[in-house]
Structure 1
């Protein structure tokens, strides 16, 4: 018994010592004061569970990821610095009505580029028909990156098309997230490799100093053909994205097809992700080609936990701050940080038509519950919240006034703001904005508008559960 007591005493001493050490790390590295306080309290009161949880979920900085466009003296940085000069001739000034968006160039560390064609792709059938046509037409190389890839009908079709192009002599690069695609069987990847496809997983825990970085994800969805055509948006690869999962029913999503110099900017984050995953620097076409003399200007804005600033959150906050007439946002997950909540309220209080479109039926119960913890103050400030009823809403879009639109992978939650690698395409064109507005209005017509009674009439246990879920917002 005495030996057991001594062992328990040593275990307790070690656990609390690790809790104190971890608390210092949380104090110095956690980005938000509430987050730091929460970690410090839990690490010192119950370190047996909190210490391992902290080293898996507590870090908001992605150590070791080298971004070539940042101030890093690396081979990747030097090579990309040379390539960036090739695109200078396509740099465009922001339209007068959107000049305040110039700050986003500094967030992106990329210029706004003119001379692009852009096509808005609505839902899975249209999107994958376009992507597959681009894959079949590629002559030199294909860059393919998805967060989720399933071994189902759609996933098999993608595999067969990529394998066929590789056998035809096209260089095919396939990058997937190891967590998002954890169900992808080895035979799927082996079949691609056997056909000549170069396959890499984005595993955030690689490297001796990063083995606990399990909480980061690469949430980007990018397809590029020959450096001339690019696809980006919300759709992953799986039958549910075609609306064929009876548990989810219809799937509402949005993607973009881009042709022109902006594809150059789309290649840069892919190159960086591939470099992290493999150590290699791909040889690609870096000679931008204008798709149209009067084409639309596009800014590609990548973001992630390796950024110096919280790029995605600042992007949304700035868009809301610049809005004068309307700011319409769609997101399947709505657990915004305090900065975005304040920006939503301020925009509505200025008289801006602020609308947030979220799903009626969730696919994540925690994020669904958490949203009820802060929606009442938003509604009271004049923010309109719509719940989409015609299936599951998965779009990540933003429309500001008459000329600024964004389609990408960023959700309005902490994971997209601080833990995921994301990407957004901003289009500055009134005709495209009109098309986006029409799609938003169609979605609003298939939704119901929330009111404060939706929250006040909930039973007490639901309100308690929503507050508890909101406390988990840093890892949702």
Structure 2
């Protein structure tokens, strides 16, 4: 029996090792992490690799994604912007980043947008409900987490009111992040009121999902579009800041911008790409239009996900960081960068850019917190500033560059956002909006504790070892 188990052990390790070595899409760090797991836990590790080792929604999903974007490019290319317009609209210092963003899924900068930074969660909710109540044509919403709490119920009731007065309402929620709502009476009430519903990456057949794909490939987007004239973009789910499912980390501190103008059509197309994937609808069923604002700024949508090319998000962040000349400020709740982003941040600081990084002091993910802190010494030594926010879980995902360019949306700086999640962001060039976002970032800094190199150097050895161990297997987390 012992000989048989040993032979089985060897066969399992060799088999999965060959599979990992045959994959061209893995980084050397990810390969090493998997080798360590397979060597230490051959049976359990093999099962984990079977469930989570490969990023693929399956041939059917990949084929449908291509069909959807082929439709969008052929029938709505006039709304996606033109590559040749980028040079006219964007400052030459930042052209490379905007061009790169346009290469991801074909959305290029368009002129004629404006934006307002929402004051807080209460103001966001009040304005959103007012906008839905004023809708005349259609409302489209998509949330990763949609709870049946006060905020989530307010949004659902506003959609039901709109649907009853003849507004076409389409609502999507992620099958895992919003599983409670999808099974609740409120979801059924919405359907009964005439709201058209869809589930992104449904969980109704979990065994089939585990056998054919990965159960943790999720739609992390947060998109709201009203009448093709208003859209919201930022980090906020449809949930109270008290976030009762993880109340001990509350409040969730989010950022949201309300956009009008040409950028709305691009965000609507991104929503429709998910809707068409989930429902099988074709683009011909939708009326699409753009409403640019005279004198508005240039902006573009960036959507990423497991059916797009690998590495797009970290490469975009790296391009933006590389454009910085004076200062760069970044906030994210989950910081587990790949080598591309880490080196870009250190390089920016070394060449004299004032790099400020803002993370939560207490994170709802213990392994992300440990992995994040494994990078502190490297970043601080390069000259970056690190601040840990104390007033709740800082969930805002923001990047500002030189007071001129801003990126807001759903993407974190971790491997889930880089590889596993569908994400949505808006990249814009405008000094007024960037100034507003930067002032919000400064507000986060004011509510944070600075982290110094001396403090990190004084951490106990066991803590440093633990952080580095978690970071070592970070590529498979």
- Fold similarity call, TM over 0.5: yes
2:305 maps to 1:304:
yes
Give the equivalent residue in structure 1 for 2:22.
Answer: 28
Q: Summarize the Cα distance change of 1:329–1:227 in structure 2 as closer, same or farther, 3 Å threshold.
A: same
1:110 to 91, 95, 107: 107
Contact 1:405-1:426 at 8 Å conserved across structures: yes
Paired residues for 1:266-281 under 5 Å = 266-281=267-282
Q: Give runs of ≥4 in structure 1 deviating > 4 Å.
A: 11-19, 86-92, 204-210, 241-246
Give the equivalent residue in structure 2 for 1:159.
Answer: 156
Q: Summarize the Cα distance change of 1:333–1:122 in structure 2 as closer, same or farther, 3 Å threshold.
A: farther
Tell me how far 1:246 sits from its aligned partner: 6.0
RMSD: 2.7
Give the equivalent residue in structure 2 for 1:402.
Answer: 403
Tell me how far 1:226 sits from its aligned partner: 1.7
Tell me how far 1:451 sits from its aligned partner: 0.7
Paired residues for 1:60-459 under 5 Å = 60-64=55-59, 65-66=61-62, 72=66, 74=67, 77-86=70-79, 88=81, 93-101=89-97, 102-184=99-181, 185-203=183-201, 211-240=212-241, 247-281=248-282, 283-290=285-292, 292-459=293-460
1:3-62 residue CA offsets vs partner (Å, 9 max, x unmatched)? xx49x94x7766754554433332233421121233245336643212221122111344
Tell me how far 1:177 sits from its aligned partner: 1.1
1:56-78 residue CA offsets vs partner (Å, 9 max, x unmatched)? 2111344343488x8x4x36513
Q: Summarize the Cα distance change of 1:380–1:190 in structure 2 as closer, same or farther, 3 Å threshold.
A: same
Contact 1:239-1:245 at 8 Å conserved across structures: no
Q: Summarize the Cα distance change of 1:351–1:118 in structure 2 as closer, same or farther, 3 Å threshold.
A: same
Give the equivalent residue in structure 2 for 1:57.
Answer: 52
Contact 1:165-1:172 at 8 Å conserved across structures: yes
TM-score, normalised with respect to structure 2:
0.90
Aligned to 1:379, the other structure's residue is in SS state helix
TM-score, normalised with respect to structure 1:
0.90
Q: Summarize the Cα distance change of 1:67–1:457 in structure 2 as closer, same or farther, 3 Å threshold.
A: farther
Aligned to 1:217, the other structure's residue is in SS state coil
C-alpha distance in structure 2 between counterparts of 1:243 and 1:295, whole Å? 39
Tell me how far 1:242 sits from its aligned partner: 7.7
Unaligned runs of 5+ in 2: none
Aligned to 2:162, the other structure's residue is in SS state helix
Q: Summarize the Cα distance change of 1:232–1:278 in structure 2 as closer, same or farther, 3 Å threshold.
A: same
Q: Summarize the Cα distance change of 1:232–1:243 in structure 2 as closer, same or farther, 3 Å threshold.
A: farther
Count the aligned residue pairs. 466
Contact 2:68-2:277 at 8 Å conserved across structures: no
Contact 1:204-1:210 at 8 Å conserved across structures: no
C-alpha distance in structure 2 between counterparts of 1:54 and 1:47, whole Å? 10
1:128-174 residue CA offsets vs partner (Å, 9 max, x unmatched)? 22221221111121111111111222222222111221222222111
C-alpha distance in structure 1 between counterparts of 2:377 and 2:394, whole Å? 22
1:348-370 residue CA offsets vs partner (Å, 9 max, x unmatched)? 00000001011112222221122
